[in-house]
Amino acid sequence: MATDTYDFAFAIGGEAGQGIATPGNTMARIFVRRGLHLVAYNAFQSIIRGGHIFLTVRVSDDMIHTHGDKLDLLLCLNQDTMDRHLHLMGPGTAVIYNSDKITPGDAQTGVQLCGLPIGELTNTTRTGLNQNTVALGAMMHLIGMDIDVLEQSLAQQFQRKGEAVVNENVNVARAGYEHAKASFTPFPAPVATGPKPLAIWSGNDALAMGGAVAGVKFYAAYPMSPSTGVLHWMANNARNLGIMVRQVEDEIAVANMVIGAAHTGVRAMCATSGGGFALMTEAIGAAGMMEIPAVFIDVQRAGPSTGVPTKTEQGDLWQALGASAGDFQRFIVAPLHTLDAFNVMSELFNLVDQVQCPGIVLSDLLISEGNYSVDPDYLNLHPAINRGELITSPNGKDDAPYHRYANTESGVSPRAVPGVEGHVHVVATDEHDEDSRLLSDEFTNPHIRRMMVEKRARKFEGIIDQIAPPELQGPADADVTLIGWGSVYMPIFDALKLLEAKGIKVNFLPIRWIVPFHAEQVMAVLNAAKKVIIVENTQSGQFARFLRSETGFSANGHIRKYDGEPFMPHHIVDGVVDLMEKENESYIPYQEVVV
């Protein structure tokens, strides 16, 4: 543990049904209320009971974006966790376990084994979930925090269940604390305190909240991991915020309902994962033809097909690029972290309203189901709203005919919501003329078809000037420039310090906007770089192919990961070091490494 920065990580392991989330959430709240930055990542399987769950929580008084590379404390709720993870614990670490049921194996020298006689400490045969609370009490001693802090948290957590439940949990927590105080040595550095309390949220919370402050009034979804958290947040807050929320029978119906709602003039969105997004793509093309602004969130998971529902990947990039048939305009944005996910929703809704086209958000499980601290002061709860050329009332020019798809210089046609007097028009998925008459066998004109395609294309001319380009992070004279998109920002952010400690100067160009793409600005950075390495969570290198298709640029190296688990900082560090060594040994200009 560094002397100048408080950086502590613990993990809780067990099986589904052992209540792992409860102690993790309890400790997370305690840490963020002390003003510490926090990241929590839960590695779990797609089953209701059994299997293996491993929740990792990292806290620091410095900004962090990942659950990190090390563990200081391990809480084992079953023998399987002890057998799987004891080898991760090194000198100066501690392992808490129920000594009535769990037997530790061979631990490294310097690992403190903290066995808790749960039956004796709880004085009851109902030891299943009580062991979690006892362990929390022991943990409070080990990290140098007073038991009163935990008791207050438990009282708030269980107050709805009555005084008897509160007292039971407080008593067993204190029993664990007193046993640990008499038996175990605490960590040298007690828990630090930040400048002010922070909040905690998931990426799905951030996406939902971002949509709400952007003015969303209609949300539809069919539950699909790992996007379901957006639906939960919307459903929980819909009544207070005046949002209509519908859980629909399938993703096809979801997409069409969202487009229908958006057609009436309200801001509408939905969220799904890769398989559900595949079903939505025909409707997304319909929104492009009808020029209706709506937002579709794809929280990526490991595919194809059902794939691994509870694991992360970045494999939907080309699906978003090719969503639906034909040429049409769309926005595609990949938030870098949770605060960015919140902010991007207002930005995207303003853009799709101005241009009148669909927008796609590419999140993933790492962002959406991870839990992160956030400073509430950073949240702009009243962003600027730009609805574009939206007609909601008669303009007084009854003699002027209304052409829904008028061939304007900008390509953007004034959009009237249904029911506005004097603004009758047809909205259909067929090609049409300016007056919304459909091109059919009786009315076919190739010149009109060409005019309408070009009109829609003009909407994107100059739009990139309204979007901030990516900014290079790190020293300008770096030996290596890393480039990646979306959530890889987080492990790379934490890896930069580790690489610097190894004497390797590295900077990073995080890509947030996929469409439109800042090709000119990106190439200015990459052409000036000494060595460029792409980092992405795919096997086939989807972003590498996209970058080459947009710019013709080929990187010097490629770090890929596709085992379902996210990058950790050491993966980036090891990949960079490995690629540099390979190049020095073989003088091959391009190398790949899988981590």
Residue 235, pLDDT above cutoff 80: yes
pTM equals 0.95
pLDDT in tens, 545-555: 999 999 999 99
134 is a domain residue: yes
pLDDT in tens, 37-47: 999 999 988 77
Residue 3, pLDDT above cutoff 60: no
188 is a domain residue: no
Domain with 437, as residue range(s), is 389-467
Residue 399, pLDDT above cutoff 70: no
pLDDT in tens, 329-386: 999 999 999 999 999 999 999 999 999 999 999 999 999 999 999 999 999 999 999 9
Same structural domain, 43 and 143? yes
Nearest to 128 by CA among 147, 167, 101: 101
CATH number of residue 70's parent domain: 3.40.920.10
> Quick one: pLDDT band at residue 124, thresholds 50, 70, 90?
low
Same structural domain, 167 and 313? no
381 is a domain residue: no
Q: Mean pLDDT over residues 468-493, rounded?
A: 97
Contacts of 503 (CB under 8 A, 6+ apart): none
CA distance 218 to 50: 37
Portion of the chain with pLDDT greater than 90, in percent: 88
Residue 435, pLDDT above cutoff 50: yes
What pLDDT does 592 receive?
86
Tell me the backbone φ, ψ of residue 260, rounded to 5 degrees.
-60, -40
Look-up: residue for tokens 């991760």? 88
pLDDT in tens, 143-185: 999 999 999 999 988 888 999 999 999 999 999 999 999 999 9
Same structural domain, 160 and 258? no
> Quick one: pLDDT band at residue 1, thresholds 50, 70, 90?
very low
What pLDDT does 125 receive?
47
What pLDDT does 593 receive?
87
From residue 353, give the alpha-carbon distance in Å to each of 408, 415, 467, 489.
16, 10, 15, 28
Nearest to 225 by CA among 363, 373, 396: 363
Domain boundary among 467, 501, 525: 467
- Give a three-class secondary structure readout of 567-581: CCHHHHHHHHHHHHH
What pLDDT does 2 receive?
42
Counting the structural domains of the chain, the total is: 4
CATH number of residue 577's parent domain: 3.40.50.920
Quick check: 489 and 337 in contact, CB under 8 A?
yes
Domain boundary among 183, 212, 235: 183
CA distance 538 to 556: 17
Count the neighbouring beta carbons within 10 Å of the beta carbon of residue 415: 23
Same structural domain, 32 and 148? yes
584 is a domain residue: yes
190 is a domain residue: no
What pLDDT does 106 receive?
95
What pLDDT does 445 receive?
82
Q: How is 202-218 classified by DSSP, letter by letter? A: EHHHHHHHHHHHTTEEE
> Quick one: pLDDT band at residue 51, thresholds 50, 70, 90?
confident
Q: Which two tokens stand for residue 579?
A: 């690629």
CA distance 579 to 1: 28
pLDDT in tens, 496-547: 999 999 999 999 999 999 999 999 999 999 999 999 999 999 999 999 999 9
Q: Mean pLDDT over residues 321-326, rounded?
A: 96
Q: E strand or H helix at 299, and its extent?
A: strand 295-300
Nearest to 35 by CA among 337, 342, 373, 340: 373
Same structural domain, 366 and 417? no
Same structural domain, 484 and 463? no
Same structural domain, 432 and 491? no
380 is a domain residue: no
Q: What region, left, alpha or beta, does residue 218 occupy, with left being phi > 0 and alpha being psi -120 to 50 degrees? A: beta
CATH number of residue 348's parent domain: 3.40.50.970
What pLDDT does 481 receive?
98
Quick check: 288 and 328 in contact, CB under 8 A?
yes
> Quick one: pLDDT band at residue 250, thresholds 50, 70, 90?
very high
What pLDDT does 443 receive?
63
Look-up: residue for tokens 């060594």? 581
Provide the edge-to-edge strand list for the sheet that holds 591-594.
Answer: 506-511, 480-485, 532-536, 557-560, 591-594
Q: Mean pLDDT over residues 419-426, rounded?
A: 93
Residue 272, pLDDT above cutoff 70: yes
Class of residue 400 by CB neighbours under 10 A (exposed 0-12, middle 13-18, buried 19+): exposed
Same structural domain, 212 and 321? yes
Domain boundary among 331, 351, 375: 375
Q: Which two tokens stand for residue 97?
A: 């376990």
What pLDDT does 355 receive?
98
Average pLDDT, the chain: 94
* Integer-rounded Cα radius of gyration of the chain: 27
> Quick one: pLDDT band at residue 581, thresholds 50, 70, 90?
confident
What pLDDT does 441 receive?
57
Nearest to 54 by CA among 66, 42, 71: 42
CA distance 77 to 274: 33
**Strand runs (DSSP E) across 61-155, as ranges?**
73-76, 94-98, 112-116
> Quick one: pLDDT band at residue 416, thresholds 50, 70, 90?
very high
Q: Mean pLDDT over residues 59-67, rounded?
A: 96
Identify any residues that bridge with 591 across adjacent strands, giving them in sequence order: 557
Q: Which residue type does 265 have?
A: G
Q: Which two tokens stand for residue 371?
A: 């839990």
Q: What region, left, alpha or beta, does residue 202 occupy, with left being phi > 0 and alpha being psi -120 to 50 degrees? A: beta
Residue 587, pLDDT above cutoff 60: no
> Quick one: pLDDT band at residue 116, thresholds 50, 70, 90?
very high
Same structural domain, 507 and 539? yes
3-state secondary structure of 123: coil
316 is a domain residue: yes
Nearest to 62 by CA among 41, 91, 39: 39
CA 591 to chain centre: 29
Same structural domain, 450 and 524? no
Buried b (16+ CB within 10 A) or exposed e, 164-180: eebebbbbbbbbbbebb
Q: Mean pLDDT over residues 392-404, rounded?
A: 81
Same structural domain, 61 and 146? yes
421 is a domain residue: yes
Tell me the backbone φ, ψ of residue 237, rounded to 5 degrees.
-115, 0
Q: Mean pLDDT over residues 407-420, rounded?
A: 96
Same structural domain, 459 and 488? no
Pairing relationship of beta strands 199-202 and 371-374 according to DSSP bridges: antiparallel
